[in-house]
A = this chain, B = another copy of it.
Amino acid sequence: MNQVSVGILGCGTVGSGTARILIEKKDLIFSRTGVDINLKRIADIDPSRGEGLPIGQGVMTTDAVSVIEDPEIQVIVELIGGKTVARDFMIRAINSGKHVVTANKALLSELGGEIFPLAQEKSVDLAYEASVGGCIPIIKSIRESLVGNTISSIRGILNGTCNFILSRMTADGCGFDDALSEAQEKGFAEADPTLDIDGFDTAHKLAILNAIAYGMNINLDDIYVEGIRDISAIDIAFASEFGYTVKLLAISRQVNGSVEARVHPTMISKDNILASVNGSLNAVTISGDCVDKVLLYGHGAGMMPTASAVVSDIVDVARNIVFGGQGRVPLLSYRPESLSVVPVKPMAELQTCYYFRFAAADRPGVLSRIAGVLGNHNISIKSVNQRGRRVGGNAPLVMLTHRAVEADIRKAVLELAELDCVADKPVVIRVEDENGNL
């Protein structure tokens, strides 16, 4: 019997879900692989976390190092999270020649430059399907299914918390704070939601996708990040009038040898299939020259969906161990020799369309002054909406621009904020128009 022994580090939500699948689906997995996957040890600082699991005595331990060093264990599944202990254990496992499976997007996107070369050097597998998009098979699809495509862009809804909040605000017209509270009550948002709502979690995922899609080194630092904290119901309502939906999108695009990489609230056409992705669901669109575009959609988080992806990685690694093929797919999709430092385009050079909302004084000449400032910065207006809804004594004036340059927009915003006929800084939301090839 072909047996592969596995040790899990971290028995939290995803760890216990993974253990459950490996145990309860042992026969199913054998019938599909011919491999007996033996969950030999689970390490957690709190051994009571294993109490609900159908595991034998001696499987749970508080000693992660003993799991890593167990000579029978060939695959270490790191589900601790964070960048300290998880990093140390992962490096120790790789150095011990163990294959590693992880869901740790923060670790891979921030310290991937250290970890991937080490795994390469030690000839071990490092599998990370669950790090992006939960159960959505995005890593495998880019690495394997799209192998003949020059990938031109990625657009994704990669954070369920943000998508839940924006979906609620869209459906009910409620404000950000109410939607966040509801997300927290329903378990779709952490008590401290910063990493999610400020866009960092999405950026972690985009950094990983960019690397495998474009053959570039992992580069988190150069991704522009803006979260959804400042989105208000009125902007979502105006977006809807223009035929748009607001989503927190991860966007990257390969343009002339450099890559555009950004995370921000984005207006997209309601006709775009990403606009139909609601609630805590995730979806990613990959554009490639042969496929045009492919969209993958599913639960981006949660115990069992994420564990499903972890298990698919464990099985992939186990198949490599039993049937051969370790190293058949390069860890980061491209051979290490082919990875290059692809420059990330400065955000100031971005060209896209923009939505502006001004709290404008309701008197003659205001529109002309605003339009004048925009015109001076090469920003051309596509449509204007002034409906007389009053917000704090001023009338909201809304504009959509044609394609403009981000640097010009920033200069215009500074100048507009100085106008005496405009209260507050204007709200600016980027729009992906049809020419953006969504």
Tell me the A residues contacting B by CB distance below 8 Å. Answer: 17, 21-22, 25, 28-29, 31-34, 129, 135-137, 140-141, 143-150, 215, 273, 276-277, 283, 288-299, 304-305, 307-309, 311-312, 315-316, 319-320, 322-330, 333-335, 338
Closest Cβ–Cβ distance, residue A171 to chain B (whole Å): 11
* Selected contact of A21 from candidates B29, B143, B148, CB within 8 Å: B148
Q: Report how far A292 CA is from B292 CA in the complex, Å.
A: 27
Residues of B with C-beta under 8 A to A304:
289-292
Q: Identify the interface centre among A288, A292, A333: most chain B CB within 10 Å of its CB.
A: A292
The oligomer's copy count stands at 2
* Selected contact of A295 from candidates B296, B315, B320, CB within 8 Å: B296
CB distance A291 to B316 under 8 Å? Answer: no
Q: Report how far A324 CA is from B289 CA in the complex, Å.
A: 29
Q: Report how far A324 CA is from B321 CA in the complex, Å.
A: 10
CB distance A324 to B330 under 8 Å? Answer: no
Closest Cβ–Cβ distance, residue A333 to chain B (whole Å): 6
CB distance A32 to B312 under 8 Å? Answer: no
Closest Cβ–Cβ distance, residue A217 to chain B (whole Å): 14
Q: Report how far A291 CA is from B329 CA in the complex, Å.
A: 24
Q: Report how far A92 CA is from B334 CA in the complex, Å.
A: 35
CB distance B324 to A328 under 8 Å? Answer: yes
CB distance A290 to B308 under 8 Å? Answer: yes
Name 4 extra pairs, CB < 8 A, besides A25-B148, A297-B297.
A21-B148, A137-B146, A292-B304, A294-B297
Closest Cβ–Cβ distance, residue A122 to chain B (whole Å): 17
Closest Cβ–Cβ distance, residue A27 to chain B (whole Å): 9
